[in-house]
């Protein structure tokens, strides 16, 4: 099953208006993707998705396309898709960084491996460790307090029991938003905050203390991504679990977080980690050091959401029961590009159990939507 062809498709898809995201990173109204189609000499093919946000990983649909076509494909043609070691070596030898572009290619290879074996990817990774229906948290943008409260109450009525509130801006506005949400949802809903690195350590500590009465369950990425010392300082000063997200891309990032005792939980997902296998190995490493993991998101579509689901099912340290994660990206968008979209009802995402990633890419629609010639 040697790789014979790698095609890329750039797509740009709007979020449905009521799901447009606001965070310390700015506004997110449109998502950009680079989809990958990998073909082999065994007539098998697989699909992958690079979910790209320049403010997040520095990648764009154009840069992912160029990396895949000009840097990765020449090294990968002729490589056996089952040899994930060799595929990782080729990707890493071609370029540093570019995790979402690398993950797109790697997940397409897993898709082919699963289809060839007639088994879902989570089984090839050693799972399943949990049931196929995974409960997620709802991620609430940094809206004005009244709007935040209204949406939170609506989502709780729709079945969500965990709400993540975006903060990391002006502390008084952050406090007002969180208070309004707590008041709207009552005492029994789990609330947590994600600052997306928007605070410094002193502001984080002060603001989180000001929110003591809101009984938060967790704080995600209180300080900028490179400030591992600041994250450790926040963790020592407050009585809340700290989750690392932007601070944890590469395996060495995780090692630094562990060495500095900077977090209790790490948000992992195939795109950010540069592949399913690397994300799985990082979940393993975290477990050895008593650090829990959950599933994070960059507003993926069905393809990369399926890959995230396979990771969640495959590793027991993806502790989504205790720390619900984010896998709701597909329903944020006004288009789906697979024939049987992933089932998402309220907070519950059903991980596909078909062979490979378990999704069926709608190539005619993808080709129609692709902006390759623009
Ligand atoms: Mg986050």
| Alpha carbon of 289 to ligand 1 centroid (Å) | 22
Do residues 18 and 342 touch, judged by C-beta distance below 8 A?
no
pLDDT of the residue at 42: 82
| Alpha carbon of 178 to ligand 1 centroid (Å) | 16
| Alpha carbon of 164 to ligand 1 centroid (Å) | 9
Please determine, for residue 347, whether its predicted confidence score (pLDDT) is greater than 90.
yes
Please determine, for residue 373, whether its predicted confidence score (pLDDT) is greater than 70.
no
Q: What is the mean pLDDT of residues 303-317?
A: 98
Residue 358's closest CA among 193, 200, 132?
A: 132
**Gap between the Cα atoms of 248 and 283, Å rounded:** 12
Which domains are seen in the chain, by residue range?
3-119+361-369 (3.30.390.10), 123-350 (3.20.20.120)
Q: What is the mean pLDDT of residues 72-93?
A: 97
| Alpha carbon of 105 to ligand 1 centroid (Å) | 24
Prediction pTM value: 0.96
pLDDT tens across 119-173, in order? Answer: 999 999 998 999 999 999 999 999 999 999 999 999 999 999 999 999 999 999 9
Please determine, for residue 306, whether its predicted confidence score (pLDDT) is greater than 90.
yes
pLDDT of the residue at 21: 73
| Alpha carbon of 247 to ligand 1 centroid (Å) | 10
- Of 10-19, 31-40, 171-180, 200-209, the one with minimum mean pLDDT is 10-19
| Alpha carbon of 72 to ligand 1 centroid (Å) | 28
| Alpha carbon of 299 to ligand 1 centroid (Å) | 11
| Alpha carbon of 195 to ligand 1 centroid (Å) | 8
| Alpha carbon of 35 to ligand 1 centroid (Å) | 23
147's tokens: 């709007």
What is the average pLDDT score of the chain?
95
| Alpha carbon of 222 to ligand 1 centroid (Å) | 10
Alpha-carbon Rg for the chain, nearest whole angstrom, is: 20
Q: What is the mean pLDDT of residues 49-76?
A: 96
Q: What is the mean pLDDT of residues 343-361?
A: 97
| Alpha carbon of 244 to ligand 1 centroid (Å) | 8
pLDDT of the residue at 372: 60
pLDDT tens across 52-65, in order? Answer: 999 999 999 999 99
Please determine, for residue 334, whether its predicted confidence score (pLDDT) is greater than 90.
no
Q: What is the mean pLDDT of residues 90-102?
A: 98
| Alpha carbon of 5 to ligand 1 centroid (Å) | 35
pLDDT tens across 14-40, in order? Answer: 888 777 777 777 787 889 999 999 999
């Amino acid at each position: 099953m040697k790789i014979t062809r790698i095609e890329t498709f750039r797509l740009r898809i709007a979020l449905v208006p009521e799901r447009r995201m606001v965070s310390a990173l700015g506004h997110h109204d449109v998502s950009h993707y680079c989809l990958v189609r990998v073909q082999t000499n065994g007539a098998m093919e697989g699909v992958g998705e690079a979910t790209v946000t320049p403010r997040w990983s520095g990648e764009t649909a154009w840069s992912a396309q160029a990396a895949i076509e000009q840097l990765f494909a020449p090294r990968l043609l002729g490589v056996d898709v089952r040899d994930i070691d060799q595929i990782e070596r080729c990707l890493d030898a071609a370029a540093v960084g570019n995790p979402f572009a690398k993950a797109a290619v790697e997940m397409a290879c897993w898709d082919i491996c699963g289809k060839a074996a007639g088994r879902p990817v989570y089984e090839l990774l050693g799972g399943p460790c949990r049931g196929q229906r995974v409960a997620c948290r709802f991620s609430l943008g940094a809206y004005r307090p009244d709007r935040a409260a209204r949406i939170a109450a609506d989502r709780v009525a729709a079945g969500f029991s965990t709400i993540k509130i975006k903060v990391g801006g002006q502390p008084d506005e952050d406090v007002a938003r969180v208070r309004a949400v707590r008041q709207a949802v009552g005492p029994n809903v789990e609330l947590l905050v994600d600052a997306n690195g928007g605070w410094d350590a002193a502001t984080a500590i002060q603001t989180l203390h000001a929110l003591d009465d809101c009984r938060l369950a967790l704080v995600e990425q209180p300080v900028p991504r490179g400030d591992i010392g600041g994250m450790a300082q926040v963790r020592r000063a407050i009585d809340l679990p700290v989750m690392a997200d932007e601070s944890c891309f590469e395996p060495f990032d995780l090692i630094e977080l562990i060495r500095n005792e900077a977090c209790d939980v790490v948000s992992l997902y195939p795109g950010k980690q540069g592949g399913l296998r690397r994300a799985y190995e990082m979940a393993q490493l975290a477990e050895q050091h008593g650090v829990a993991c959950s599933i994070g998101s960059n507003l993926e579509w069905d393809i990369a959401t399926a890959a995230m689901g396979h990771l969640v099912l495959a590793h027991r340290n993806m502790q989504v029961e205790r720390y619900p994660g984010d896998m709701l990206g597909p329903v944020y968008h006004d288009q789906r590009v697979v024939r049987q979209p992933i089932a998402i009802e309220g907070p519950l995402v059903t991980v596909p159990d078909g062979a490979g990633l378990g999704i069926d890419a709608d190539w005619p629609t993808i080709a129609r939507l692709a902006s390759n010639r623009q």
